[in-house]
Amino acid sequence: MIHLAELKQAADAWRNLETRTSSTHDLLVMALEEGDTSLEETLSQEVDALSKEINAREFQLILSGEHDTRNAILAIHAGAGGTESQDWAQMLLRMYLRWAEREGYSSRVLDISPGDEAGIKNAFINIEGKYAYGYLKADRGVHRLVRLSPFDSAHMRHTSFALVEVLPEADEKGDIVINSDDLRIDVYRASGHGGQAVQKNSTAVRITHLPSGIVVTCQNERSQFQNKEYAMKVLRARLMELEMKRRSEEQARLKGEHVSAEWGNQIRSYVLHPYKMVKDHRSSYETSDTSAVLDGDLNPLLEAYLLSTVGK
């Protein structure tokens, strides 16, 4: 029923565009026949608005994967390199939170592990909104930063890496069935930098899925109940990802294709020194406006990659 309602909504939107386009065309023809220039600005604005909406809806046709319309759970993991990579992971966290804000999506940090001196070791965030997963799936992979280190007294140039994972949020009722007997749930006190306890009560939750060995934690909320709820959300997404990988590998096996379960090299480089450039190595899209990208202006990069995959 939900899928049918979404299809009806999309069809209604296209019909509305058709009606608006037809009306604008008729008005334009009438104005030209009568030599009326008073509507020129109004018609120009409507044509621009229609063009933008049609382009946006045509692009959404690319996002037709099974889970593309869903919310996303995004995980960021600092790579090797200590404080440098942990600071880079925090920069990426801010970038995605700002992107969500720009797009009108709601976002929530589900769990975060602070770095030893600065930044973060890893973080999980939930981004809610239509096509959140469809867009963000373009960013899964290794992200590389080149800059003059703010942590190096000699101000040497450093290269840092972080891994971004993007999971579709699982439907609680239909996608994954979890047997409570398969779970081990531990509670403990939430911790901050250096591992010191920051709450007197045991509100942090660690859930281990025994059959798969997947472990998820959540300690960002003050309520044990909320932490458990969000940890379960991440666990369902992890289990759904396993199922998606299993299906993909089975299809590849039947087709005789080679499937690598490992992350490849970096998908994107962010260079802040000796020049400024963000380049996606898959689509070859690049921009010198690094500040805008790190402030959440990601759509040109996301869309360039998604467009590059059409027909592949």
Q: pLDDT for 29-79, tens place per residue?
A: 887 877 777 777 788 888 888 888 887 777 778 888 888 999 999 999 999
Strands (E), the chain: 72-78, 106-114, 120-128, 141-148, 157-168, 183-188, 204-209, 214-218, 266-271, 277-280, 286-287
Q: CA 47, CA 50: separation in Å to the nearest integer?
A: 5
Tokens of residue 189, six digits: 């006190």
Tokens of residue 290, six digits: 């690094």
Q: Summarize pLDDT for 166-224 with one digit per residue, the tens.
A: 999 998 776 788 999 999 999 998 776 544 544 557 889 999 999 999 999 999 888 89
Q: What is the pTM of this model?
A: 0.80
In whole angstroms, what separates CA 46 from the centre of its chain? 32
Q: Summarize pLDDT for 227-248 with one digit per residue, the tens.
A: 999 999 999 999 999 988 888 8
Instruction: Name the pairing type of β-strands 266-271 and 141-148.
Output: parallel
Domains of the chain (ranges, CATH numbers): 2-60 (no CATH), 72-173+261-308 (3.30.70.1660), 180-255 (3.30.160.20)
Q: Provide the pLDDT for residue 144.
A: 94
Q: CA 80, CA 43: separation in Å to the nearest integer?
A: 56
